[in-house]
Structure 1
Amino acid sequence: MSQPHRFDVTVMLDYYAPYVSGLTESARLTAEGLARRGWKVAVVCARHDPALPRHEVLHGVHVFRAPVLARVSRGFLSPALPVLAGKLAARSDILHMHLPNPEAAFVAAARGPAKLVVTYHIDAFLPDGVVNRLGLWAVDQACKAAVRKADLVITNSEEQARGSRIWPTIRRRALLPIPSPCLDRSGGEPRLRDGDGLHIGFMGRITVEKGIEYLIRAFRAIPDPAARLLIAGDDRSVAGGSNIAQLRREAGDDPRIRFTGLLRGQAVRDFYASIDVFALPSIAESFGIVQVEAMMTGVPPVTTELPGSDYPVKATGFGRLVPPRDPAALRAALLEVARLPAEDRAAGREAAVKLFGGETSLDAHEEAFRRLRGRP
């Protein structure tokens, strides 16, 4: 398959499409958006699924996948990944790395003359334990080493950067807050609704850090038999494994709770059209693309107050913030925003679209990259 001799930008991360996560989607939408605008873009990532090709072109983006030798917790062992990333960076003007990433230090050191942009999405998260604490420390050191070499560091917001474990390193580099790209998911049909009762929705990876058990506890304390809770997201191919079994135990025999699995395309639009309130009960989160997508359809979110993930609610005034791991506060907030009148929902939607909609994020990325190349 033919490919350019040189690339304008090489994007490096562990997981890429068809894998779905907030980090992956942010990287994909930015890469594909630049390609649409005429940039030559490569992505180098791990071949997390052996069935995926080593090289293909997806929506104008050349995707190169390095073989995986073994899986380790949420990551993997892929000695070929930093080597391949270094080779592609040598053929590129800019290397754009998405962190956290355990290979970050090696790739940053081997990038050659390419300008280095680091997008730091979130501090790595693992359930508490001696081994996991050691793993988090190692990933943090790799990320700090990459940040020290960066010509530019991008975060979703300055608040997210300041709340990071590696803020003392980030603050010494050029920092540019750019919210993750968000899609307008309006125009769906309420195909997932079941009656006229209150419908609460969650969408995201079904993992421990999403705090879904606290949402289930909050919902089960709502006595209304007509209420419904829709939990949408991947529980089968999640890096590090899913906690779906625990969540099904939490749901028990409550027939009002439905796990939909991973939704794509039109089904995502239909999901937002089917709910009255969106819940993001995470215990680790840095932005929450899904809550902004809900906002842009006029659905108010209830989000845990964490550095970065609280930014969309604070910036728009649309939705409510609650402490993490607090089902009682979550329940009260969900019932409160469910009563928001149509005019407040419309105003919230307008504010979200203005701040996060369209190609605002892509415009900011493109301008930053042009300046790094000396071509404003």
Structure 2
Amino acid sequence: MRPDSDHYDLTVALTYYTPYVSGLTEVARAVAEGMAARGARVAVATTRHDDASPARERANGVDVYRAPVRARVGRGVISPGFTSLARRLARRSAVLNLHLPMLEAGLLTRSLPGTVVVATHHDDVWLPTSLTGRAQTAIVDRSVGRALSDADAVVVNNEDHARGSRHWPLMEETGITAVPPPCRIRRRASPTFRDGPGPHYGFLGRLAPEKALDLAIRAFRTIDDPDARLIIAGEDTRIAGGGVAQDLRALAADDTRVRFTGFLEDQEVDELYSSLDAFVLPSIAEESFGISQVEAMMLGVPSVASDLPGMRQPVLTTGFGRHFPAGDVAALAEAMTAVAAFGPETRSAGAERARQQYGASACLDRYEALFASLTGRAAGTDREARPSRTAHG
């Protein structure tokens, strides 16, 4: 740890930070705030993607620095000041923790003597198939590859997902540490989202194309139960790259059993989970984990998830839920019906297994141990002399 007040023990770098909500931002926030709560001096370097956010603030023990945004391209932002801001903080830090994918990643990790670089790889960049999308993907992939080559260690949510990454050879070469995302153990609350005695299915997350929520709606509509409900909750307007809320509402327009809630405040999230009989995660693009499904599982709500690397791991590990072949509407409907019928004992046991496996404390323990081992090793190592790999994935 560095006692100098001008220095930080940890700088976390990512382009989207709170108040933006996604699985990636929630992991970064939990690591930053969790390490600060354990006594570390922590900074976050990010962009001012929300004009209402201050350029600098102290939030929950963390110094948050935001670089101005000049333009937006698809899911990304153009912020010329972000790279220099992040590098300035990184040079004053014992550890730089990047959260990938990130367009600027390869620029942030070059020539940082005395700073340990830990890259947390959440997922490969996913963009709609188009000429522009392919070009953007290639650029981001090259930058991410550069960062992975420069990193001292790579954190992944699980090896199952990491092996399917386009960057797996580089991650394997650097060395991976599997750390499940820190998941909050939420409180039981009033089931305010329940509407009648039938099974209640739900989703919480960004209403983005890759979440494939149209599959959830199509599957739900084959369930012939007038008392059944499907609750789709989460951010539906401020979505990087654009959302699909309007299309989903049109698809469900004549089925009054489907409800859209929009963004939920923290207490409302507790109330949503407490109202559900099953959580549905039908994504067609691989997700590295799916934090919302685990938060629900911890409260006794089994999950139905696509059988894809990463996102299937919580159910595989705990046995609390079902998988279905990605994109198969009939199989999704069948799994939803089966899971909603789980009894109280199955739910209680599943919740306990999920809490033991994925609680935030265990995750932070592993991050803290990794940072400590690397900073101890770096104290006796000339990072400038370390040979740099040249493959960029």
Which residue in 1 is equivalent to 2:304? 302
Which residue in 1 is equivalent to 2:116? 115
Which structure 1 residue ranges, 4+ long, deviate > 6 Å from structure 2?
Answer: none
Code of the residue aligned with 2:342 in structure 1: it is L
Please show how residues 171-320 of structure 1 align to structure 2 within 5 Å. 171-284=172-285, 285-320=287-322
> Is this contact kept in 1: 2:204–2:233, CA < 8 A?
yes
Q: Deviations over 1:2-56 (max 9, x none)?
A: x930000000001001110000000001100100010000000010012211100
SS in 1 for 2:274: helix
> Is this contact kept in 2: 1:182–1:357, CA < 8 A?
yes
SS in 2 for 1:274: coil
Which residue in 1 is equivalent to 2:351? 349
SS in 2 for 1:62: strand
Structure 1 residue 113: deviation in Å? 2.5
**Larger mean Cα displacement after TM superposition, 319-328 or 107-116:** 107-116
Please show how residues 1-376 of structure 1 align to structure 2 within 5 Å. 4-284=5-285, 285-374=287-376
Unpaired segments ≥5 residues, structure 2: 380-393
SS in 2 for 1:373: helix
Change (3 A) 1:251 1:151: same
- Give RMSD over aligned pairs: 1.3
Structure 1 residue 138: deviation in Å? 1.2
SS in 2 for 1:260: strand
Code of the residue aligned with 2:366 in structure 1: it is A
**Larger mean Cα displacement after TM superposition, 151-160 or 180-189:** 180-189
> Is this contact kept in 1: 2:181–2:360, CA < 8 A?
no
**Larger mean Cα displacement after TM superposition, 109-118 or 180-189:** 109-118
> Is this contact kept in 2: 1:95–1:111, CA < 8 A?
no
Which residue in 1 is equivalent to 2:382? none
Code of the residue aligned with 2:129 in structure 1: it is D
Q: Deviations over 1:289-343 (max 9, x none)?
A: 0010011000000000111111111111111111111111100000011111211
| Aligned-partner Cα distance in 2 for 1:136–1:4 | 39
Q: Deviations over 1:229-255 (max 9, x none)?
A: 000000111111111111011112111
| Aligned-partner Cα distance in 2 for 1:243–1:132 | 17
> Is this contact kept in 2: 1:186–1:272, CA < 8 A?
no
SS in 2 for 1:147: helix
| Aligned-partner Cα distance in 2 for 1:127–1:58 | 34
| Aligned-partner Cα distance in 2 for 1:220–1:183 | 32
> Is this contact kept in 2: 1:217–1:327, CA < 8 A?
yes
Q: Deviations over 1:140-191 (max 9, x none)?
A: 1111110001001000001111111111111101210000000012311101
SS in 2 for 1:171: helix
> Is this contact kept in 2: 1:99–1:121, CA < 8 A?
yes
Structure 1 residue 110: deviation in Å? 4.7
Code of the residue aligned with 1:94 in structure 2: it is V
SS in 2 for 1:216: helix
Which residue in 1 is equivalent to 2:387? none
> Is this contact kept in 2: 1:89–1:112, CA < 8 A?
no
| Aligned-partner Cα distance in 1 for 2:188–2:246 | 33
SS in 2 for 1:374: helix
Identical counterparts, % of pairs: 49
Code of the residue aligned with 2:103 in structure 1: it is P
Code of the residue aligned with 1:363 in structure 2: it is D
| Aligned-partner Cα distance in 1 for 2:40–2:265 | 27
Unpaired segments ≥5 residues, structure 1: none
> Is this contact kept in 1: 2:288–2:309, CA < 8 A?
yes
Task: Give me the TM-score of the superposition, normalised by structure 2.
Answer: 0.93
| Aligned-partner Cα distance in 2 for 1:323–1:184 | 29
Q: Which has the higher contact order (CA 8 A, sep 6+)?
A: 2
